[in-house]
Each structure stands twice: as C-alpha cells, then as structure tokens.
Amino acid sequence: PGPVLTFGETMVALRGSGPLKLGGTMAVSVAGAESNVAIGLARLGHSVRWAGAVGDDEAGRLVLRTLRAEAVDVSAAAVDAGAPTGLLLFEPRLPQATRVHYYRSGSAGSRLSPETVERAFATAPPRLVHLTGITPALGPGPRAAAERALCLAREHGSVVCLDVNFRSRLWSAAVAAEVLRAWAPRVDVLIASDDELPLALPEGAGADRSARAEWLLASGVAEVVVKLGADGALVRTADGQTHRPARPVRAVDPVGAGDAFVAGYLSALLDGAGPAACLERGVTTGAFAVAAHGDWEGAPTRAELPLLAAESGTVLR
C-alpha cells in the first residue's frame, strides 16, 4: 500500500519564554498542522509523504531538513524561489495562555499549487490523504491544491481525512463553512472540535453535537471524530458512539495536541483497528503532545506509547 499523504504550510516557529515585546531568547523549530501529523505518524512507524511549498531560503531548508530527519518523505515538496518561507511566533503570555503571531501572508506555502499535489500522487498513490481546513484558508492556490487532492483521492481510492482546524485569523467562519461544507461529503474521517462541527454543515443543520454528527454520517462521512480537549474525544459511526476520556498528564503546552491526536487516531486506523482503539491511541498521543513543549517534539514512537502509564518519579534504566 502507498504512504499517507499530507500537505499544507509548514513554517519556521520561534518560541519565546515570556512577553515578546521584552525581547529575550527564542527557540527555533518548525510548525504546521499537517507536518505535525506527518511527524506523529512517522514516529509510529508509518510511511508518510509531505508535499507543501517552502521558500528557497534557510528557513525552508530547516523545514525540509527537519521533516527528512523525522523520516517524512519530502521528495514531492516544492521550493518556490519567488516567496519566503512563512514564520510563526509563539508567545507564552501567561502559564495558561499562549499568543500566536503569524508572518505568512505572501509566503511560499500560501502559493502552493495543484501541480505539487499531482507530483505527490504520481509515485505510489497514497493509501490515505490527510487535509486540514488551514490549507484552503491560505489562498486560491492552496485551496485548488486541496481540491485537486480530493479528486485524485477519489480516483485512486485513497481514504480521506479532514481536520476542520478553523483559524479565525486566516478566514471568516462564513467562507470556511462554504468551502468545508462542500468538501464534507467527500471525506471518510471528519475530525473537529465541538465548536467547529457546524462549519462542515449547512447553516442551521443539527441542533446539537449528536444531530450534527448524524447529519454528517447521512451525507457519506464514515467516522465523525470530535476532539474535546481535557475531556478526551469521541467518535460516531453508523454503529453508534464511543467516548474515551483524556489520559491524565501534566499539561505544559496545548499547541499541537489536536494534530498529535489525529496522528494517533490515523495510526490505529492504518493498523486496521476499530473506532475505540483509534480513540485510545489518539488520546494517548494527544497527552504526549500536551506534556511536552513544541508542536511535535513530544510525539511518541510506538515503543514509547506505554510510557504514559508510568508512575510519577519513574526512572527507566
């Protein structure tokens, strides 16, 4: 079977240690919802391809080098000499509140084209395609690229996963709903936070979470997965609903939890597991993410998964 394919914008991420306007030092890494999922899946042993666009600059080389180091195939990725790699600043303003500042308009990632996605399908068509609602928010090119991926996935029989991932800084809820609602019937696994579910439905459809999930199932989605933060996650399929509580862990950084959850969920799905086992691996990888700083740095390997059950003070020697 082919690899998992995901694509979107991955940026250089600078993480400060306090209020940004005071200066100080920042840690340099990379971040992007889809590449977070790619790294999460690669760490769990799956074959993954990422196909975004970066600038012909040192920031872009950091993105590609990081993904390569994490065993993600970047051979279909584009290097755009006409635009810079995007940048993202994380400002931990309070222990419970982090601010994100984007420097991404006009970036290489926002000029991603359908040709890059076509290249990613050309060798070993993917077994599963993972999209997020961030990509169509970036501009007409990325939106067309995602729509091309939906068509090619259907042609090749790839499973399609969509994480709604609404970013209000990038587009309005009204425009997001227009796009995502048209995509939903072509999606097999739809993942959203509770408040994002309405964006995948016609206006007014579904009075509550259950009715919304039922509506999506009736429109052709096979699995509707709802991320509930510290309350865990649930999945609704034609066979009913299953919930898993979050795994107790000392949370230090919530950014990237959703992507880590998606990687865990899809990993179990690729292993052939049923909805309950998919949720179980998702809440486990989600807990690893919130327990570590960074978007993807804390993602577990398969051998590390049982570590989450270790008691406080455990030393492995």
The interface mask with ligand KDG, positions 124-143, x = CB under 6 A, is ----------x---------
- Residues 50 and 125: their CA atoms lie apart, in Å, by 13
Question: Which of the ranges 19-27, 187-195, 232-240, 256-264 carries the binding residues for ligand KDG, by CB under 6 A?
Answer: 256-264
Taking residues 32 to 61 in sequence order and writing x for each that binds ligand KDG by CB under 6 A, - otherwise, the string is: xx--x-------------------------
Q: Judged by CB under 6 A, does residue 249 bind ligand ADP?
A: yes
Binding at 295: pick from ligand KDG, ligand ADP, none (beta carbon under 5-8 Å per type): ligand KDG
Nearest approach, Cβ of residue 150 and ligand ADP (Å): 22
Q: Among residues 161, 176, 191, 255, which is the contact residue for ligand KDG, using CB under 6 A? A: 255
Q: Give CA–CA dist 300/210, Å, rounded.
A: 32
- Is 259 one of the catalytic residues? yes
Using the minimum distance from each CB to ligand ADP, give the nearer residue, 30 or 287: 287
- When the beta carbons of 58 and 195 are compared against ligand ADP, the nearer one is 195
Contacts of 167 (CB under 8 A, 6+ apart): 133, 134, 137
Q: Cα-flanking dihedrals φ and ψ of residue 231, to 5°?
A: -95, 5
Identify each DSSP E strand in the chain by its residue range.
4-6, 11-15, 27-31, 48-50, 53-55, 78-80, 87-94, 97-103, 128-132, 159-163, 189-193, 223-227, 233-237, 240-244
- Between CA 77 and CA 56 the distance in angstroms is 12
Burial of 61 (0-12, 13-18, 19+ CB in 10 A): middle
Q: Which stretch binds ligand KDG (CB under 6 A): 17-25, 120-128, 255-263, 309-317?
A: 255-263
Beta carbon of residue 251, minimum distance to ligand ADP (angstroms, whole number): 4
Task: Pick the closer one to ligand KDG by CB: 152 or 164.
Answer: 164
Residue positions annotated with a catalytic role: 259
